[in-house]
Amino acid sequence: MKKKQINKQPAYFDRYIEYVPDIDLNDALLQYGFDYLLPEKEKLGQLGHDVYSPGKWTIRDILQHIIDTERIFSYRALRIARNDKTPLPGFDENQYAYVAHASGRKLDDLFDEFDMVRKSTIFLFDSLSEQDLLREGFINKSDISVLALGFTITGHCIHHMNVIKERYYPLIGL
């Protein structure tokens, strides 16, 4: 299903979903997955632990955040797709980043983990019917559809790469 078929999304997620072209969800997950990040790996490695402002996340922190968020959003999508009506809570991304210890991880390991998580996400969404994708649930006090969660996962990665290109790459002269 395509982005224009999203029936329910919280306003907050518009900023992520708008980055994604109106293409099939599985095509979007593939196009903006591992192969989207891989060409940036060398530049990301050059950044090391540099940040553009005190208190901001390192590149490794951002990659870990993308991975953690994808896992959480995929779990939410699974729960809603399986017609679980339990309201789901939000999560504190800063607390996750604080305790994740991503700065001590190898960039290669983060890339490998992202690749595996994205492949799992693709399998999940590929297994869902149109009815499953349109099913709605309640997350962090907002209604959202499974389809919207899939496009949010995709757009979230694009968003963070845009931030990296805009704010981090100038640190290495790009």
Residue 12 pLDDT > 90: no
Structure tokens at 154: 């995709």
* Residue of 152, 48, 64 whose CA lies nearest to 112: 64
Structure tokens at 113: 């983990």
Query: Reduced to 3 states, what is the DSSP secondary structure of residue 89?
Result: coil
pLDDT at 8: 84
Whether the Cβ atoms of residue 152 and residue 28 lie closer than 8 Å to each other:
no
Structure tokens at 66: 């993308």
Whether the Cβ atoms of residue 43 and residue 174 lie closer than 8 Å to each other:
yes
* Residue of 26, 102, 108 whose CA lies nearest to 64: 102
Residue 28 pLDDT > 90: yes
Mean pLDDT score of the chain? 96
Whether the Cβ atoms of residue 4 and residue 137 lie closer than 8 Å to each other:
no
Q: φ and ψ at 52, to 5 degrees?
A: -80, -15
pLDDT at 63: 98
Residue 10 confidence class, pLDDT cut points 50, 70, 90 = confident
Q: In the predicted model, what is the mean pLDDT of residues 6-27?
A: 93
Residue in this structure with the two tokens 């969660």, named with its chain if needed: 149
pTM of the predicted structure, to 2 decimals: 0.96
Q: What residue spans define the domains of the chain?
A: 3-172
Residue 146 pLDDT > 90: yes
Burial of residue 36 (number of CB atoms within 10 Å: 0-12, 13-18, 19+)? middle
Q: φ and ψ at 100, to 5 degrees?
A: -80, -20
CATH of 3-172, one of 1.20.1250.20, 1.20.120.450, 3.40.50.1220, 1.10.3720.10: 1.20.120.450
Residue 9 pLDDT > 90: no
Q: In the predicted model, what is the mean pLDDT of residues 19-46?
A: 97
Sign of CA dihedral 43, 47, 53, 54: positive
- For residue range 41-96, list pLDDT tens digits in order: 999 999 999 999 999 999 999 999 999 999 999 999 999 999 999 999 999 999 99
